Chain A
Amino acid sequence: MAGKKNSKEFVQGVPELLILRLLQDREMYGYEIVRGIRLRSHEAIQFAEGVIYPLLHLMQKRRLVATRSAKVNGRPRIYYRLTKAGKKRLEAKLSDWNRIVGAVQTILDGAEGEPESI
């Protein structure tokens, strides 16, 4: 069970990192976040856009983001912004991400410390 939870956390980690990073600049609503991810990744990252909402709700529950509602053209819209906890989480996630990317890159580059073949 713990393994499953960890793997889910790992899979969930990347979208969370992207969302936190985008919200660092300014508050956004769901569509803006998705659009931001798509444009900044030059369309490389695409996904079923509706799945962003359950993730945002989870982040809200964890107090990583706070919300504000507004009525736009008569319909409700929820804006998300980063909280203090969210900023801390972003820093931690960025650090983790850089460490992992660096480690993977080192392996891909065929760095030293390679185990000898038997």
Chain B
Amino acid sequence: MRFKPYLTGQKVNQNQYSDLQRELRKRGYSDRYIHRLINELTDHWTCVESESDPHGTQSEFTKGQRIGNSSQILEVLDDISVLEPWPRRKPVVMFAFFPAMVLLAFNLLAVVLGNSLTNTRPFDSIFLNGVIATTIAWSSFMFPIGVTIATSWLAVRYRASWDLPLVSALIMGISSFLLIKVVHCAESGYVICTQSWTFDPIQLICIVAPAALCIVASRWFNSLDEQPQFSTEFNE
């Protein structure tokens, strides 16, 4: 995706900004943030042009020197990133492992709560129902994690805002629901069964809570880059 610098776009040092864009993408900045930074730099460039050089005699080199090159801006961004919280510095970790960890935690909680309600030890039923039940249970358990990691990777790869992690969270929520049902079926000895396809509060928590947490986390993560809405329009 290429961004068009505004107004005096042709005069803007295109190579410099395309270098900057490429490096920012490599570092994992979202398209929205890159767009904002380039627009601000472009606006700055235009102001520098109009400040002391109404006839356009100031060289591109001089203007470029004043504004700074890509490496200077990147250096500052790198310095700043040290001050940022770890999810911001490591988006891959954030999107790939956080949902998986949340899913794991909530499923474990559900197993513990579910079993404590029925006075049986956690995991007893899974391990006592044999190899097939265990395999089904664990493969079902791994499925939503796999989906989550895959969609999270896409989010990171395409510098998506919060929409892909949102999809990831929804898929995870649905998968959690299916997982619980499949585990129930495996526990009862049938791959396809009907008696457990009813809602209970714990299952609902298992579906809604991880999805909600993922959405909140990913929205928070991306809100850091949000560009403010246009509120006014005027001419100088």
Contacts and interface: CB of A to CB of B under 8 A. Distances in A.
Interface stretch (A44-52, A84-92, A95-103, A105-113): A44-52
- Say whether chain A's binding surface is mostly helix, strand, loop, or mixed: helix
Contacts of A34: 44
B6 to A, nearest CB: 4
B230 A29 contact: no
Contacts of A50: 41, 44, 67-68, 72-73
A73 B80 contact: no
Contacts of B39: 75-76
B26 interface: no
A58 B80 CA distance: 7
Interface residues of B, number: 38
A5 interface: yes
A115 to B, nearest CB: 35
Contact of B79 (A11, A31, A61): A11
Nearest to A58: B80
A42 interface: no
B50 to A, nearest CB: 10
A13 B79 CA distance: 13
A21 B151 CA distance: 44
A71 B83 contact: no
Interface residues of A, number: 34
Given A73-B235, A73-B236, A58 B83 contact: yes
B7 A73 contact: yes
B66 A78 contact: no
B229 A76 contact: no
A5 B83 CA distance: 6
Contacts of B48: 31, 49
Interface of A: 4-5, 8-9, 11-12, 29-31, 34-35, 47-51, 53-55, 57-58, 61, 67-78
Closest 10 CB pairs of A and B: A48-B68, A75-B6, A31-B47, A50-B68, A71-B233, A70-B232, A51-B76, A67-B228, A48-B72, A50-B67
Given A5-B82, A5-B83, A76-B6, 5 more contacts: A50-B68, A54-B37, A54-B76, A58-B80, A72-B43
